[in-house]
Structure 1
Amino acid sequence: MESILNSGFFYVPYIEYYKRSITHDERLEKNDKGKVVRKIPTITYSHEIKLGLLWYQLKIDQSNKPAVVFVGAANGWEGSGIERSETKDVDSNDDVDWKVFREAVTVSSFNIATETKKLEAFRLTGTVYETTTFGVQLNLGNREGIGLDDTYWVEELEENEAGEIKKNRRGFIKIREVANNKNDESATSYAQTITGSNYSPGLSVTEIPMIGINAVIGLGSIPVNIKPFDNSKSTKKFDLSKYNFGISVTNETKSAIGPFFWLQGNIANSTKISELWFHMGATLGFMSIDGKFYLPKYNVLGIQNGIDSSLDIGASLSGYANFGLVKKFYFRRFGLLFQADLKYWMTYLSATGKDKNNDDLSYSLTHDMIGMDGRVGLEMYITPTLLIGGGAEYNLFPQNNVWTATVTDKDKNETKNSDAVGPDTKYSGLGFYLYINYALPSLK
């Protein structure tokens, strides 16, 4: 920033749009048995803002005449404005209003910094000083503010048929060692070659600004092993008094298939380990379970007068939320990655029945467990911001048969048993996945 301001650059902040809104609602408070005991008024504060900087440069010509030149606009949003909202109880003293406003401004400021680096006047450039077997040495270092895993185009100046000098992009590289050229001006940084070849000293490099956060979407097969089970003839079933229900699982379930969404955040500069990423995400699996629900039927007096066994279990959900670390090793555009995660896994079965007033009753069974996994995968750069990949994981989870059985009425009152005995279930085993990895250009 010091070098920028000393070069005659200055900026004017501006706000294109701002909206603050307040919404009143209420939330339900339940007791340990799932009964609604009171309704608590809530208030939601929302702030949406479009904030940016207009950059200018003061120039002095040869006759000492000053002129102000417009450099460009760095917007802190893309499309709609940056919006943040949060809800609190009306009686709470938390200053949520100021908190969400500050969050919206902070995200906008982060995006403005990234967009400023994309302006031609502020693009960080350097020169290839030396070539090596797997990369190049650059005349850039910590004095210029470069960081581990920063990405640069390698460019060559060429003259076209019209006599115009243009930059030809030969490929891109990633910084693996940052030189301390604050103390030693001759120090050079090492960058690994990802694409391109036959680089030579004198070629120019230009930074590709990124925020260091990747969005990963894909499709996976996950292990979900549910054993055969039948409590339909038991008087206890799931032990839910008047709403007692049962199930039967006739065939073993082994897997589920579905989409996933992960976020990866680069932590190389804070750990000094290249290509080390923090990872968090969620996976949702769909499966079909062979079996039936056995739901109680009631007469108008609220007395059970039979069992409804017409509902198949069928389509059900299983999935997990996970977080952990990813380490990547690259050879050219190909990457080998190793990942370790902690996981919270849940499986959900549901059906709908009727109470004595013919109102809907929601019956559900949930099974949850905490475990871990180890993953290995391969990915390939298509562009500096887009990769494709795939891999396999092995999950480690204990096996148990403890489920939560819940019945919810139309007023959201719950009858629940958190220690119900259900099918033996485990999530250990192999999973497979394919994905697309996209480097996000900004925060939303």
Structure 2
Amino acid sequence: MKAGYLSEFFTGVAMKTLSAVEADPSRSHQHEFNGANPLMKVFGEATEKQRYEALYIYLSDGDDEPVVAKGNLTWYDARLNHATRTEHRLYFPTNQVSMVAAEGDLLVVARRPDNSVLVVIAQGGSTIASQVQWLFGVQVEHKGFSVREELETEQDRIHFASAFILEQLGIEPDNPVAAENYLDTMLAKFDGKLPATNLFSAYARETVPELDPVADPDGALLGWMEREEILFRTMEKHLLGDRLQKGFADDVDGFLAFSLAVQNRRKSRSGHALENHLQVIFNANKVRYERGVATEGKAKPDFLFPGSKEYRDAAYDAALLTMLGAKTTCKDRWRQVLAEAKRIEHKHLLTLEAAISTHQTDQMQEHRLQLVIPRGLHETFTPAQRQSLLTVSDFTAMVKEREGRSGVA
């Protein structure tokens, strides 16, 4: 086990694509998989029936909340007493998660250090399925299970993108930076409470002065976002500690309201933080822009280049106008960007979401939406997808070039 790596949370992981007989209850009333050699690498040799506590999760791009069920699974040798043969199988009973599974979905069986098991089924062809495969570094290229046992390579180090995916699996990794006594400094600086997001973003940037938004805007954006997320979670954990220690007893509604408020605040602050850091990058690179100005009706692109004056000038060449939406994650919300800035046919969207599915990026291209992805996340996309991606540096250079051609001073 190595802190800050996947091995802190998993001792082994196996994946496969579900077949019709494995997913369809009308064709099979149980879920049993031939263990063979791949699963034996995760669970070892069964000398008797081994039962594990298991958490089941079903994930899809269309649902904000996963389907979750608790249960168990059994690892056993169906020919335990046979003189020469073994036939290992993995069995789990039907539950709410297995009932929504379909042929082509991705099945993930991950063993935890506490000897429990996480079973994830992700909708086939979805972005979350692509992200889970990238997270564990496993490509499913055949009918059986593909397995990884060692999860301590550099690709297994937990950073901003992988931490987000782990949260979709119900795991919130602690970060070593939290132990560097930033908490005492923050409590003193902000009088023991969370400040406005722009102030917190500025503080996060101050803690990593080595990041240069001009020389490396891509690295600066990812570094600032990762640091702010760590600092925010550290502060949040401290501020919510008393409430969590008191508990909620039988107040289920109170717990749900509290949890929803925490999640909504996290999402809101993360989105504002992204815009705050982008604004600093554009300022540092002397790019002309306006943030959150109206174009038509109530439509307000996150960033408009070079600005609203040029946008409203019918004589200004629309080909030299640029709009940028900024979303930490996409899902289907990328379509919101399409309704903004009607004069601009070819739109841009910056996101920090890794490993977006090919199906979704193809749809974006069909709607003339081009993704801007920090360079450090490009490797999570397929080679074909990367051809249409812009880095933050690419995008900044593009808007400066357009500004130069327009003659705007």
Highest CA radius of gyration, 1 or 2?
1
Please identify which structure carries the higher strand content: 1
TM-score, with normalisation over the residues of structure 2? 0.28
TM-score, with normalisation over the residues of structure 1? 0.26
Structure of higher RCO (CA pairs closer than 8 Å, 6+ residues apart): 2
